[in-house]
């Protein structure tokens, strides 16, 4: 269930980086803020889980809107650094705000009853609840990417000046993608709080933002299944290794990062797709230049 939550988070991130070409280095902030929001409202406000999740999504989307409005003004590497800095701000707010429990985090969040009927304390029920949400969001992302809107996003990723010259309001598209992505990240955060029963500072910390980049990169940028594969791999690795090797986990994660960037930029799924396409790709390659001319 934890891995599914992170997979959801990675999918949200992939929507932004893989399909829009925006590298956010502060995505953990949205996940974490929603985790706190959901957790606090469910525990202290007595909200039902579904309302708590919606509240978490709203919190994340609102934050995403604010951060996005500021960050969208710069591109590429600056965008990454600005999102990182804004995320750090959210981290400190979470550390100091009165309701977050400071260093201890928010403990003992009840799972409650879904729609007031189905008790989620049962792990199996919770599992299917998480799975259902995951599948729904996954299909939603596929739908978004294949929609005309998604095609415009891809166009922006490939060639922003051209998209502008075609008359698209690029910044509005990018902002919407950012908010969408942060909302899904928020959903992942809220779910995670319900599953584990707590929200802590590590949900907001920027090292998680780094991890989600790695999950997406390892699995394959801009592929649908990639982030899921990546998230399961990384969470699995952490679970297996954490007890045995202590701090070396960080070293291993760092090393995977380095290897990925140097030799393996397409990731597992991307590599797989590229291999399968290779024999078929030889033929259209000859036809491709003509096609380009036709479009030009």
Partner 1 sequence: MTEIFGIPIQAFMGQLMLGLVNGSFYAMLSLGLAVIFGLLGIVNFAHGALYMIGAYVAWFSLETFGLNYWMALLLAPLVVGALGLVIERTLLKHLYKLDPIYGLLLTFGISLIFEGVFREQYGVSGQSYSVPDALQGATNLGFMVLPNYRAWVIVASLIVCLGTWALIEKTSLGAKLRAGTENPALVQAFGINVPMMVMFTYAGGAALAALAGVLAAPVIQITPLMGTNLIIVVFAVVVIGGMGSILGSILTGLALGLVEGLTKVFYPEASNIVVFVIMAIVLMIRPAGLFGKEK
Minimum distance, C-beta of residue 119 to partner 1, in the bound complex (Å): 40
Stretch (H or E) spanning 118: strand 118-119
CB-nearer residue toward partner 1: 96 or 165: 96
Q: How far is the CB of 120 from partner 1 (least distance, A)?
A: 35
47 or 95: whose CB is closer to partner 1? 95
Beta carbon nearer to partner 1, 120 or 218: 218
CB of 88 to partner 1, least distance (A): 5
Residue whose C-alpha is closest to residue 3's, from 201, 228, 184: 228
Neighbour count for residue 53 (Cβ, 10 Å)? 25
Q: CA dihedral defined by 231, 81, 31, 39, rounded to 10 degrees?
A: 140
Binding site for partner 1 (CB under 8 A): 23, 25, 70, 73-74, 76-78, 80-82, 84-86, 88-89, 92-93, 95-96, 206, 210, 213, 217, 246-258, 260-262, 265
CB of 284 to partner 1, least distance (A): 25
Closest CB to partner 1 among residues 79, 134: 79
Residue carrying structure tokens 């393996």: 264
Helix (H, G, I), strand (E, B) or coil at 199: strand
Residue showing tokens 């990723």? 157
Query: Could you tell me the smallest distance in angstroms from the CB atom of residue 68 to partner 1?
Result: 12
Residue nearer to partner 1 on the CB measure, 40 or 206: 206
Measured in degrees and rounded to the nearest 5, phi and psi for residue 121 equal -65, -25
What's 106's DSSP letter?
A: B
């Amino acid at each position: 269930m934890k891995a599914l939550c992170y997979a959801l988070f990675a999918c949200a991130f992939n929507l932004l980086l893989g399909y829009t070409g925006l590298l956010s280095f502060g995505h953990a902030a949205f996940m974490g803020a929603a985790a706190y929001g959901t957790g606090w409202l469910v525990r202290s406000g007595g909200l039902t889980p579904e309302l708590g999740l919606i509240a978490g999504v709203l919190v994340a989307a609102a934050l995403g809107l604010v951060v996005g409005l500021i960050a969208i003004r710069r591109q590429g590497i600056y965008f990454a650094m600005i999102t990182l800095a804004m995320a750090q701000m959210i981290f400190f707010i979470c550390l100091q705000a009165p309701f977050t429990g400071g260093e201890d985090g928010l403990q003992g969040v009840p799972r409650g009853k879904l729609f007031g009927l189905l008790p989620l304390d049962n792990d199996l029920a919770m599992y299917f609840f998480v799975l259902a949400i995951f599948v729904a969001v996954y299909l939603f992302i596929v739908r978004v990417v294949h929609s005309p809107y998604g095609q415009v996003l891809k166009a922006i990723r490939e060639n922003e000046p051209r998209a502008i010259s075609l008359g698209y309001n690029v910044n509005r598209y990018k902002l919407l993608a950012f908010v969408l992505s942060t909302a899904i990240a928020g959903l992942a955060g809220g779910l995670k709080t319900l599953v584990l029963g707590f929200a802590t500072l590590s949900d907001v910390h920027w090292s998680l933002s780094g991890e989600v980049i790695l999950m997406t990169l390892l699995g394959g940028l801009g592929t649908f299944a990639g982030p899921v594969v990546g998230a399961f791999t990384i969470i699995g690795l952490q679970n297996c290794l954490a007890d045995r090797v202590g701090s070396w986990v960080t070293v291993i994660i760092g090393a995977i990062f380095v290897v990925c960037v140097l030799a393996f930029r397409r990731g597992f799924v991307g590599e797989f797709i590229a291999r399968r396409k290779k024999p078929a790709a030889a033929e259209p390659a000859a036809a491709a230049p003509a096609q380009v001319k036709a479009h030009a």
